[in-house]
Amino acid sequence: MFKRMMTLVILVFALGLVPVLAQDKPADTQAKPAIVVHAFTVASGVKFPYDMNQLQSQAANELKNTDADQFDVVSDASQSQARVYTLDGEVLEWHKGNTAERMLIAAGTVGGRENAKIHFWLTDKDGKKVFETTDVIRQLWMRNGHEKSTGMLIRPFGDKIVERLKEAKLTPQG
């Protein structure tokens, strides 16, 4: 009798957990939007000496490292994903900067730093722009070394994109 009673109690308890586990499951497995990061292009007449594929990789890595809980960064969109956005952009201007000006006159502030004006946008599955912005990225303050062949703009490039995509509000704020 005691064994049957314990089995019944365990069964009722286990059945009681099923709705609780089912409620938690959708929140954990709810599909995050996916972002496909394309290599940016360079506007006609603009000289931009850096490898666009490395900048693409940096932007994708920054999104993965910073916003992995909000976005899945993928190389190609899957048909099964409900929300897929494509990040495209263009370098509109590039200015080399001047080390002497940066160090002597501006003491490492904005003046004399390498910078680029970039325009980027997100499109949904249907090709409709859902977010668009133009911004200036600048070499990190007081940095003199180049990182591989992407120059001093690699980190600011990825950082700026991540920062601005938060303004797109593609995911509900928790």
Q: What is the pLDDT along the chain (174 residues), one digit of tens a residue?
A: 656 666 665 655 556 655 544 454 444 345 788 899 999 999 999 998 888 888 888 888 888 888 777 888 887 766 667 788 999 999 999 988 766 654 555 454 556 678 889 999 999 988 999 999 999 888 765 544 444 334 567 778 888 888 888 888 776 654
Q: Give the span between the Cα atoms of 27 and 18, in whole angstroms.
A: 15
136, β-bridge pairs: 117
Predicted structure pTM score: 0.69
- Please report the DSSP string for the chain in residue order: -HHHHHHHHHHHHHHHHHHHHHHHHHHHHPPPPEEEEPPPEE-TT----S-HHHHHHHHHHHHHHHHTTT-EEESS--TT-S-EEEEEEEEEEEE---HHIIIIISTTSSTT--EEEEEEEEE-TTS-EEEEEEEEEEPPTT-----TTSGGGHHHHHHHHHHHHGGG--S---
Counting Cα atoms < 13 Å in the Cβ hemisphere of 29 gives: 6
Q: What is the pLDDT of residue 118?
A: 93
**Crossing angle between the packed helical segments 52-67 and 154-165, to the nearest 10 degrees:** 50
Residue type (1 letter), 4: R
Report the candidate in 94, 91, 67 with the shortest Cα–Cα distance to residue 159: 67
Measured in whole angstroms, how far is the alpha carbon of residue 93 from the centre of its chain? 22
Q: Give the span between the Cα atoms of 6 and 115, in whole angstroms.
A: 72
Q: What is the pLDDT of residue 28?
A: 38
Phi-psi region of 38 (alpha: psi -120 to 50; beta: other; left: phi over 0): beta
